[in-house]
Amino acid sequence: MEEIEGTILTGRSFEPVHGRVVVEDGRITAVEETTGRDGDPNRIVLPAFVNAHTHVGDSVAKEAAVGLGLKEAVVPPDSRKHRRLAAADRETLVGEMHRTLRFMQRTGTAAFLDFREFGVDGARALREAAEGLDIEAFVFGSDDPAVLDVADGFGASGANDDDYTARRAATREHGVPFAIHAGEPDATDIHPALDLDPDLLVHMVHAEADHLERVADQEVPIVVCPRANRVLGVGRPPVGTLLEHTDVALGTDNVMLNAPSMLREMEYTAKTFDLPSRTVLRMGTTAGAEAVGLDCGVIEPGRRAALLVLDGDSDNLSGVVDPVDAVVRRATALDIQRVIC
């Protein structure tokens, strides 16, 4: 048994409570409020992050897309990303993905939802890259439905790119989620994506009112990736409006575009869209976990003990008024004391 003391951001509302999280065999058994000031009162304990959309495979192509637009950078099959991936040998690819996952773990990410290219071989390579690390990989496979024997779901590039009807049917047969990019370059692929009755939509930068009515009716969660959208020049997702219609999670998207740091993504999102810090923290933790049924993202008894401990008395965080604001709007990797996954 272990007790982690400090200011605990508890439950789905991240209510700050001075106390302790009791952990046994990797699970939270109790969250106890304390009346005294024993332990470290400056320590901030929060759920470790869930990065709800990544492309870890392009770890071999960091910054290769500088100055390029969406099509030239990442759209299959002839983008710079796909050329770099095809040219990389397996050892290099797995090694660079492993280093990316290690960075993600060290910067507070407990789980990530990855769109993995190259079918069965690609999914197996990502599984191999995650070996030896305390980070949970939820793999959305690609190409042939046979990938579902290895992956946790299917991730489609976009409804305008191919006919995904058979692959959507295969996910139903396997009882796993189907996710799809939609509304990134424009709005033309959103209705076709919704026609597939997806379990998760990614981007929705160009979502319009009629799309959002369908999203609400179908109860489809959305992942937004604001920094990547900015880098590729495709526009800004209407995050506030999306939140009015469904659950919205946060992802960092392509490793080739941005460091997969949820701390950076949350700060950018909170300040760019003027969102409450609690909303953004939920986007970076609970929403991503709930989108695919992961047992993390909330500090409460019975949950997996996936926790992030920050030094609230660091040179950066010393004197902050609200610990939730501190986490979302100011914290950096230098403030991390410990990641428990």
pLDDT of residue 79: 84
Q: What is the mean pLDDT of the chain?
A: 95
Q: On the CB side of 132, how many CA atoms lie within 13 Å of its CA? A: 8
Q: Where in the chain is the domain with CATH 3.20.20.140?
A: 49-292
What is the Cα–Cα distance from 19 to 37, expressed in whole angstroms? 9
| Per-residue model confidence (pLDDT) at position 42 | 87
B/e letters for 29-46, b = 16+ CB within 10 Å, e = fewer, are eebeeeeeeeebebbbbb
Residue with tokens 């993504």: 265
Per DSSP, the residues of 262-306 read HHHHHHHHHHHHT--HHHHHHHHTHHHHHHHT-S-SS-STTSB--
Residues 6+ apart with CB under 8 A from 319: none
Low-confidence ranges of the chain (pLDDT < 70): 36-40
Chain length of the chain:
341
Model pLDDT, residue 17: 95
CATH class of 2-48+297-340: mainly beta
Helical spans, DSSP H, in the chain = 70-74, 80-87, 90-106, 119-129, 165-174, 190-195, 209-218, 226-232, 239-245, 262-273, 277-284, 286-292, 323-329
pLDDT tens-digit series, residues 186-227: 999 999 999 999 999 999 999 999 999 999 999 999 999 999
- pLDDT of 282-328, one tens digit each? 999 999 999 999 999 999 999 999 999 999 999 999 999 999 999 99
Superfamily per CATH, domain 49-292: Metal-dependent hydrolases (3.20.20.140)
Cα–Cα distances in Å, from 24 out to 90, 218, 221? 38, 38, 32
What pLDDT does residue 318 have?
Answer: 96
pLDDT at 39: 57
Stretch(es) of the chain classified as CATH 2.30.40.10: 2-48+297-340
Residue (of 162, 112, 131) closest to 291 by Cα position:
112
